[in-house]
Amino acid sequence: MRLSGVGVWSSQLRYGDPAEAAEAAAELEELGYAAVWIPDVGGPVFDAVENLLQATERIAVATGILNLWMHEPADVAARYAALTGTYGDRFLLGIGVSHAPLIDAGDPGRYRKPLAATRAYLDALDALDRPVPADARVLAALGPKMLHLSATRAGGAHPYLVTPEHTATARAALGDGPLLLPEQTAILTTDAGEARSIGTDWLRSYLQLPNYANNILRSGFTQEDVDTVSDRLFDAIIAWGDEEAILDRVAEHRAAGADHVCVQVLDADPQVFPREQWRRLAAALA
């Protein structure tokens, strides 16, 4: 699958009311977005994927990401074959190794050797009679080793919680050809206080996960930036302002080598589908 343009990354499309999620996906397609992305932190993720595919005709649906500890390769391949057989080649399987604190919370010691675990998972997928094609899957990747695996064993990479500078580094690691599909968090407000009120605790929760914190430190930020969620770090990770400011950040990722950028809009109420913000960004993109 080749993917370009701008997409929407949304936990609401995954964990919100399914009927509203289907309606929102259909609207996002009509607004011109190229893809919708949904997370996987438990539950029947393929049912959510089918709900979105069934509600749309053209837009790609991607997992960002399918948690490899929660799904057997044979089950994944079977559901992938069924979904693409019914809805065409619109399903992009994002696969990731998640985070030790999340996986070990229910099964201490299970999370180990993330690179080896990902490689073994891909080996298992490839050994099946009907494997998921390499070009139909991308990997959650931040560091150089996982980026290399993304280039050699998948169709590309889906980095999350990254800056345009990381996108440039990732493109250099991937080389030409593999897809680079970063997520960009955004808050549509020109009020700095409001932006920080909406985004600081959200960002802090991610910085407690070692994979993200370590990548931030590799990107030139300090431990103090991470511990305090400094303004410098906040502004680098979360694009906030008017529509032009958000799309300027998207353009920075594209200039740094991204093929596609999926925008995650934060709202003061995380349970609400931010449909008005999606409409405003789509109008600015048009």
pLDDT of residue 100 exceeding 60, the answer is: no
pLDDT of residue 103 exceeding 70, the answer is: no
Q: Where are the domains of the chain?
A: 5-184+243-285
- What pLDDT is stored for residue 99 in this prediction? 65
Residues 90, 58 contacting (CB under 8 angstroms): yes
- What pLDDT is stored for residue 113 in this prediction? 87
Confidence class for position 95, pLDDT limits 50, 70, 90: very high
Please give the CATH topology (third level) of the domain spanning 5-184+243-285: TIM Barrel (3.20.20)
pLDDT of residue 277 exceeding 80, the answer is: yes
Interval 207-228: pLDDT, tens: 999 999 999 999 999 999 999 9
Full-model pTM: 0.96
Interval 234-268: pLDDT, tens: 999 999 999 999 999 999 999 999 999 999 999 99
Neighbours of 56 (CB within 10 A): 20
Omega of the bond leading into 103 within 30 degrees of 0 (cis):
no
Interval 168-218: pLDDT, tens: 999 999 999 999 999 999 999 999 999 999 999 999 999 999 999 999 999
Count of alpha carbons within 13 Å of 251, Cβ hemisphere only?
A: 8
* Structure tokens given for 105: 């919370």
Q: What is the mean pLDDT of residues 138-146?
A: 97
| Residues in the chain, total | 286
What does the mean pLDDT of the chain come to?
A: 95
